Amino acid sequence: MDDSITLPGADWPVLEPGWVWLCGAGPGDPGLLTLHALNALRQADVVIYDALVDASILDWAPAAEHIYAGKRGGKPSADQRDISLRLVDLSRAGRRVLRLKGGDPFVFGRGGEEAQTLVQHGVPIRIVPGISAGIGGLAYAGIPVTHRDVNQSVTFVTGHDQSGEAPSSLDWRAIAAGSQVIVIYMGMKHVERISGALLDAGRPADEPCAVVTAATTGEQNVLETTLGTMAGDIAASGLEPPAILCVGRSVLMRQALDWQAMMAGHPARDLDPLGRGKPAESA
List interacting residues with ligand SAH (CB under 6 A).
27-28, 52, 73-74, 101-104, 107-109, 132-133, 137, 185-186, 212-217, 241-244
- Asked about 278 being catalytic, the answer comes back as no
Rounded to whole angstroms, how far apart are CA atoms 66 and 46? Answer: 6
The nearer residue to ligand SAH, 186 or 223, going by C-beta atoms, is 186
- Asked about 189 being catalytic, the answer comes back as no
Smallest distance, Å, CB 18 to ligand SAH? 25
Q: Helices (DSSP H) in the chain: which residue ranges? A: 35-43, 55-58, 80-92, 111-120, 138-140, 172-178, 191-200, 230-237, 254-257, 259-263
Minimal CB distance residue for ligand SAH: 103
Smallest distance, Å, CB 98 to ligand SAH? 16
Nearest to 79 by CA among 104, 33, 121, 48: 48
Q: Which residues pair with 183 in a beta bridge?
A: 156, 246
Catalytic residue among 104, 186, 188, 230: 186
CA angle 216, 222, 228 (to 5 degrees): 140
Smallest distance, Å, CB 148 to ligand SAH? 24
Catalytic residue among 29, 45, 50, 104: 50
- Asked about 71 being catalytic, the answer comes back as yes
Say if residues 147 and 116 touch (Cβ distance below 8 Å).
Answer: no
Smallest distance, Å, CB 156 to ligand SAH? 9
What's CA 57's distance to the chain center, in Å? 16
The nearer residue to ligand SAH, 97 or 131, going by C-beta atoms, is 131
Provide the annotated active-site residues.
50, 71, 186
